[in-house]
Amino acid sequence: MEPLPSGANFVRAKWLWEIGLHIAGDPKEPYTGNRDVCISVGSGSSEHYRPWLRMSSGSSILAHAVAHGELEMAIVNPSAMLTQAHRGTGLFAKPLPVRIIATHATGAPEIFWYVRADSPIKSMKDLAGKTVAYSRPGSTTHTVAVIVERKLNPPPKLVSTGGVPATRTQVMSGQIDAGWSTPPFILDLVRKGEARIAFRGAEVQEVQDQTIRVSIAGTENVKERRDALGRFMKAYWRAHNWMYDKPEESAAAYAKFAEIDLADAKMTREFSPREMFSVDRLRGVDQVMQQAVEGKFIDKPLTDAQLKELVQFVYHPEKKS
């Protein structure tokens, strides 16, 4: 790993708890803050700290924050970016000046839906007619939930529940039947026998060959800082490879960082096989756009010229840099 530049500082925002969850969980609210967690990379310290790159992960609604300069990067589900944001439909009132600069994951094996331990629900088929959570419209959980909805009869009622903490509260209090999560969250409840995993995203074959998360940046930011964004993605990819090359070391580091049990840290990586990740391969584009047409977000797929304009990768691992 390359050493950090002198004076570098990383600031990790805390989870938004009850004070912010009612905002993050309401899909009608134009919320564009650090819905889950925001990472700020900059120099200096304390009052002299100067952020250079602010990045967040969450719903595609974060595209607004990227377009308005509130974030330099965001990791989002590509379906809205490939369709709605570029066209100015669905979640977006007008086209946004954003570009896809990297991919992250293909398929959704790390997402799972869980129920309380006393629930009669044992598998995906048992969700017919039940209330099933997803985070927000345009998210990966929403994409998977819609596919599940179409598979079952009677279809489940899909409920936007916001982030993991809010969803956990609603599941454990009996407000909804099945909640969504990703490791390491909820694994503590599963380990203690208070909750049970009903099904995993890996069971939904329709998304297994589809890119489900991408990094986006503002159009002007890509033009003016392309080299720097590429260096950031290079550092990200090196860290990613270290995590899989050194499984014991990386699991211990993650457990300490996240303040979780070591077993949960190891299981987190097991939910996400190495082969699902890349930074410059966008897969299942036709499928994503067809889903958008079926969902009436757009009337027709993007053209090849529009896709070329939208997708501008800033780093290619196989090329020397």
What pLDDT score does 112 carry? 97
More confident of the two residues 243 and 62: 243
What pLDDT score does 32 carry? 41
- pTM score over 0.85: no
More confident of the two residues 256 and 194: 194
More confident of the two residues 209 and 3: 209
More confident of the two residues 267 and 154: 154
In terms of Cα–Cα distance, which of 202, 200, 181, 213 is closest to 106? 213
Q: With bands split at pLDDT 50, 70 and 90, how would you rate the model's confidence at 24? A: very low
- Give the mean model confidence (pLDDT) for residues 142-157: 95
What pLDDT score does 306 carry? 87
Q: With bands split at pLDDT 50, 70 and 90, how would you rate the model's confidence at 20? A: very low
- CATH code of domain 112-207: 3.40.190.10
- CA separation, residue 290 to residues 79, 171, 193, 304 (Å): 10, 32, 40, 15
Is the pLDDT confidence value at 10 over 70?
A: no
What pLDDT score does 48 carry? 63
Is the pLDDT confidence value at 3 over 60?
A: no
Q: How far apart are alpha carbons 166 and 136 in whole angstroms? A: 12
Decide whether 8-106+210-310 matches 112-207 in CATH topology.
Answer: yes
Domain limits, the chain = 8-106+210-310, 112-207
pLDDT, one tens digit per residue, over 158-176 is 999 988 999 999 999 999 9
Q: Which two tokens stand for residue 295?
A: 């969902």
Is the pLDDT confidence value at 33 over 50?
A: no
- Least confident stretch, 27-41, 69-83, 183-197, 293-307: 27-41
pLDDT, one tens digit per residue, over 268-307 is 888 999 999 999 999 998 888 887 777 676 778 888 998 8
- Least confident stretch, 53-57, 97-101, 126-130: 53-57
Q: Which two tokens stand for residue 216?
A: 């986006």
pLDDT, one tens digit per residue, over 86-116 is 777 777 788 889 999 999 889 999 999 999 9
Q: Are 254 and 268 in contact (CB under 8 A)?
A: yes
- CATH code of domain 8-106+210-310: 3.40.190.10
| Numbers of helices and strands, H then E, in the chain | 12, 11
Tell me the percentage of the chain whose pLDDT exceeds 90. Answer: 44
Q: Which residues of 78-105 are buried (b: 16+ CB within 10 A; e: fewer)?
A: bbbbbbbbbbebbbbeeebebbbbbbbb
Helices (H), the chain: 18-24, 62-67, 78-80, 86-87, 140-151, 164-172, 187-191, 219-245, 247-258, 262-270, 285-294, 304-310
